[in-house]
Amino acid sequence: MATESGIGGRLGTVLEGFVPGLATMEDPVLPTSQARGHQNAEEVVINMEGDSQPSGNDNAPGAARTNTVPPRNGEDTPIGSGGLLDMRMMRVLSDSRLIIFLIIILAKVLYDHSLGLLVFIGLTGTFGHHNGTLKKQVFLKDKRRIPLLLLMLIMLFFSSFFVYFVFEEQQLYKCLIFLTPEFDTFDLWTVLWCAGITDYILKFITISLKCLVALLPNVVLSMKRKGRAFLTIEQASQLYRTLPPVPLWILYFNQNQETHFVAAYIFTGAYMISKAHVFYGKGLALKNALGQLFSEVQYGVTPQDDQIGDSCPICQDNFTKPIQLHCKHIFCEDCVGLWFDRERTCPMCRAKVADDPTWRDGSTSLFVQFF
């Protein structure tokens, strides 16, 4: 009973306002077991006297304030373990108030931009599906399904066309070539909208180009080269995709240029410096990818006939163009080439053989270039 009334009292304090309650709890003192015993005895005496109100003496320096005496009128908040519990409860309550407020704001934002969000969910789903499908088809090597890759090309084209058709008035396609779409003002949401749509369409174009590479017969472009072609396309795409948001953000920063020209210059300057840094990094990555594309890459040497076993450990079939890695393990050249487009180490013994395989498996970056 004492505990229940205690919590009731504390809740009363909480509902009356946090600050006074918190002020009493800033310095919780945990009594020793000895003091506790003394207080229990005192409590018994008080109860026997039938005096449930705290006496003035309780506040005297000599009298130990207890955490076992039930709080009265919700004013005397107990200290000690009960006090700590109160603090936690108050934090939870104040946190939950903040969370409820944030949920309300979030719901309002979602409601205001529901159409835009639905479009982005659709684009994300389309991107995820095609990205995964292409990766699987690349992994299948010669057994890739050509009709499926052709269907992907058609679907990606129509998805892009559909978005531009539905929002025809905004002329969003202009962003692809760094021109300004049709908007009266460029507020934050407009810029994010234009940059987001443009980035997704550029990603669809990237996947389409990779589809075309995957469709090429292996005699035209070997598996090993295809991995490097995917990497080059991806790095070129990432470099290009850093640019379309630039004119949009410059417009946004210079909206009130007449009245706030110093701020406009500072924001534009800071943005351009950070952009130049990102652009330079992506440029170096593309240069590196092009170097890999045009250089001859050998993962190992051709083994002697007596060294070759019955079957390739990867495809479990007879060896085609066997190759021996520096760890002495032997695989088909295409099998191990495909493996090193995903991993750096030998599939048998984990010895490090290849460099970073990122983007050589035909996948495209999930990152949306809003900035």
What are the backbone dihedrals phi and psi of residue 301, each rounded to the nearest 5 degrees, phi first?
-120, 160
Name which of 11 and 348 has its Cβ closer to Zn ion: 348
Name which of 329 and 360 has its Cβ closer to Zn ion: 329
Residue 366: exposed, middle, or buried by beta-carbon count in 10 A (0-12, 13-18, 19+)? Answer: exposed
Contact 195, 175 (CB under 8 A): yes
The answer to the question of residue 348 lying near Zn ion (CB under 5 A) is yes
Name which of 112 and 317 has its Cβ closer to Zn ion: 317
The answer to the question of residue 315 lying near Zn ion (CB under 5 A) is yes
The answer to the question of residue 308 lying near Zn ion (CB under 5 A) is no
Name which of 155 and 348 has its Cβ closer to Zn ion: 348
Contact 198, 173 (CB under 8 A): no
Name which of 11 and 315 has its Cβ closer to Zn ion: 315
* CA–CA distance, 13 with 277 (Å, rounded to integer): 54
- Token pair recorded at residue 199: 């980035």
Name which of 253 and 331 has its Cβ closer to Zn ion: 331
The answer to the question of residue 354 lying near Zn ion (CB under 5 A) is no
Range in contact with Zn ion (rule: CB under 5 A) among 153-161, 198-206, 245-253, 311-319: 311-319
Closest distance of CB 323 from Zn ion, Å: 10
* CA–CA distance, 328 with 274 (Å, rounded to integer): 47
The answer to the question of residue 349 lying near Zn ion (CB under 5 A) is yes
Q: Give how far Cα 183 sits from Cα of 177, 193, 194, 370, Å.
A: 17, 11, 10, 18
Name which of 205 and 332 has its Cβ closer to Zn ion: 332
Closest distance of CB 226 from Zn ion, Å: 16
Closest distance of CB 322 from Zn ion, Å: 8
Give the one residue of 286, 335, 338, 354 binding Zn ion; rule: CB under 5 A. Answer: 335
Give the one residue of 22, 221, 308, 314 binding Zn ion; rule: CB under 5 A. Answer: 314
Name which of 57 and 316 has its Cβ closer to Zn ion: 316
Closest distance of CB 325 from Zn ion, Å: 6
Range in contact with Zn ion (rule: CB under 5 A) among 95-103, 205-213, 298-306, 349-357: 349-357
Give the one residue of 224, 226, 228, 329 binding Zn ion; rule: CB under 5 A. Answer: 329
The answer to the question of residue 221 lying near Zn ion (CB under 5 A) is no
Residue 59's Cβ-side half-sphere holds a number of Cα atoms within 13 Å equal to 5
* CA–CA distance, 165 with 171 (Å, rounded to integer): 9
- Looking at the DSSP assignment, which residues form a beta bridge with residue 330? 324
First to last CA, the chain: 60
DSSP 299-350: SSBPPPGGG--SS-TTTSS--SSEEE-TTS-EEEHHHHHHHTTT-SB-TTT-
Candidates 201, 228, 165; CA nearest to 369 is 201
Closest distance of CB 228 from Zn ion, Å: 20
- Interface residues with Zn ion (CB under 5 A)? 312, 314-315, 327, 329, 332, 335, 346, 348-349, 351
